[in-house]
Structure formats: C-alpha cells, structure tokens
Amino acid sequence: MAKPYSEDLRERLIAAVESFFSSLKTERVARKTYRTRDEAKADVFDYIERFYNPKRRHSTIGYLSPMEFEMTAGLA
C-alpha cells in the first residue's frame, strides 16, 4: 500500500530538519560555550545566514547551496 502524499512529505521534512540540527551541532555549537542565550542566538543566526544558506551544499537539492538553488529555480 502506498503512503499518502502528506505522510511522505512529512518524513522528508523531518529528515531535513534532523539533518540541519545535526550539521548545526557538529559544525558550530559543539565547540563553543556561550555565556548568554543572546550570544548563542546570535551565533546560530550567523551560522544560518552567513554559512548554511549561502555556502553549504545540500545533497537534496543537487549539491547546491540554498541560495544557488533559489537563483537557478528562479525563486530569488
């Protein structure tokens, strides 16, 4: 029996979120100690905006960065 479309999409979204948090932990926060919550929030924001979205390649979108993918797909 085939899975409903929404269930398949849900599983893919969960996998993408788990992958993001795994990358965040191993590439950024595991090596750091933050003195305040605001310092941690700023560092995570910096990771997403200055590395994860513009530079980091993702296998699910053809090993492009999210910004490259949006430009080639005409979404940016």
**Pairwise CA distance, residues 19 & 14, whole Å:** 8
And the tokens for 72? 């080639």
Amino acid 63: pLDDT: 87
CA distances from 13 to 6, 37, 52 (A): 10, 27, 17
Amino acid 5: pLDDT: 66
Using one digit for the tens of pLDDT, what is the confidence trace for 31-73? Answer: 899 999 999 999 999 998 888 878 888 787 888 888 888 888 8
And the tokens for 2? 């085939």
pTM: 0.66
Beta-ladder partners of 64: 58
The answer to whether 64 and 72 are in contact (CB under 8 A) is yes
| 1 — pLDDT class (breaks 50, 70, 90) | low
